[in-house]
Structure 1
């Protein structure tokens, strides 16, 4: 039996494209070209030598083993925001079926680069499972305007995100990534560039709110509403609008007041895939 050489500890990046298999041949061809252009441009902007990456292509994405000395901090905190910006530029004006949206996973660990049919490594398996987890796919669906979502291993979150805070730690959502059919389960952290907000349980609930559904995480679309109480009356020259569901700040003329009664807590879908 061949002697097993010592592994190399490397930063690992797995990238997967949303809805690739649903495209026809022409759109798959265009998507692959655009994917390579975006990845190359992002690496050039960040000063990464992509020619030194050990890459295993997958058609709809890639597994990349980065060279020794690569900054974990730069990969974790800078790669995804740059990809998000580049993809937003690329996707502008394209139909929904032609747009490219990516799931990105980052992990690190020992890797054998001399495998006979790939790269033997538990760390490689983990980063691929993370990027394929239902929790990450749900996060990308939850924000249709997002171009990229990131998932990092628990170790990298605590070693990089919490320690250096180049990205705000509270904008990451802790999940348990599960793939039961693969016998995989791991704590990880999800970040959506430009659209992340604190977890719902970190936001104090306004007084007087009751649940339409039990707060057991079983319904990712649950909405809070106010319990019974006296209806407010108009005062002065203004008007009072009650039981209006609004997703943003609204204005109904001068001197009016609004009672907003609905607040969706969509982020629960990250932990409970649809």
Structure 2
């Protein structure tokens, strides 16, 4: 047995594959493979070098050591989504290809007798099978990809490269498979869709992304229990006693103070504060 290697893992599954006819499954498999190859080639990734385990409705891919995670999540997945949207635009719903993609990293044995042994492999497959991913993709009929990543990938890759990854589009979800004893947090987005604009419960509203030490204001209370200063969850405002200040950063030109007198007062002499 060779030593396991730490690799980036991608699980890809087609939506509603089992509901297709034999001919539709045959066609979907062909176009699924072609779309993956074309999207990878367009962003400089060599799919031939990927170690894959095929299934009729998708694949598990183990990427080479030198592949950058940011290129996979920030470029390959969006390009694949773009191609899927174009492909689906001229097809009836039953013939469309929409994907659930899960990304994780960890130790995996590449010399298994019947696959790739390793808990990281099990983990990434559990993410891709999660109900929140299926519900989120179903909530956006025009979308091509619902992407779910492990907490490690979100922390180490997505939040570190915000210009490419758009971490504000991700929502923290709980992935639960009771029959398998699996319960883990993960981060979910539907590529090129604003999940906050839908009332669907497919994804939970997350706390702010992980902060570095010393950043942001802390919410504290006096011994009496009344809040003194700090951020007001969900508004970005500041409350002092019975006065709340709203507006971008809750300070400066255009912020609005709402006091116990029951009327708004505009701070800084500018127009009324507006939500960002």
TM-score by structure 1 length? Answer: 0.71
Q: Which runs of 5+ in 1 are unaligned?
A: 205-274
Identify the residue that residue 112 of structure 1 maps to in structure 2: 109
Is it true that 1:44 corresponds to 2:41 in the alignment?
Answer: yes
Is it true that 1:74 corresponds to 2:67 in the alignment?
Answer: no
Identify the residue that residue 30 of structure 1 maps to in structure 2: 27
Report the CA distance between 1:168 and its aligned residue: 1.6
Identify the residue that residue 85 of structure 1 maps to in structure 2: 82
Identify the residue that residue 182 of structure 1 maps to in structure 2: 180
Give, in whole Å, the separation in 1 of the partners of 2:62 and 2:48: 11
Identify the residue that residue 20 of structure 1 maps to in structure 2: 17
- Which of 84, 98, 101 aligns to 2:98? It is 101
1:172·1:196 contact (CA, 8 Å) conserved in 2? Answer: no
Change in Cα spacing, 1:146 to 1:203, as seen in structure 2 (3 Å) is farther
SS at match of 1:97: helix
- Which of 185, 190, 193 aligns to 1:192? It is 190
Give, in whole Å, the separation in 1 of the partners of 2:205 and 2:179: 29
SS at match of 2:19: coil
Report the CA distance between 1:196 and its aligned residue: 2.5
Give, in whole Å, the separation in 1 of the partners of 2:13 and 2:33: 12
Indicate the structure whose relative CO is greater, using CA pairs within 8 Å and at least 6 residues apart.
1
TM-score by structure 2 length? Answer: 0.70
Aligned residues: 202
Single out whichever of 136-145 and 9-18 deviates more from structure 2: 136-145
1:80·1:149 contact (CA, 8 Å) conserved in 2? Answer: no
Q: Which runs of 5+ in 2 are unaligned?
A: 197-203, 207-232, 236-276
Task: Provide, for residues 44-77 of structure 1, a one-character-per-residue CA deviation record: whole Å limited to 9, x for no partner.
Answer: 0011111111110001000000111110111122
Q: CA RMSD in A?
A: 1.6
Give, in whole Å, the separation in 1 of the partners of 2:195 and 2:94: 27
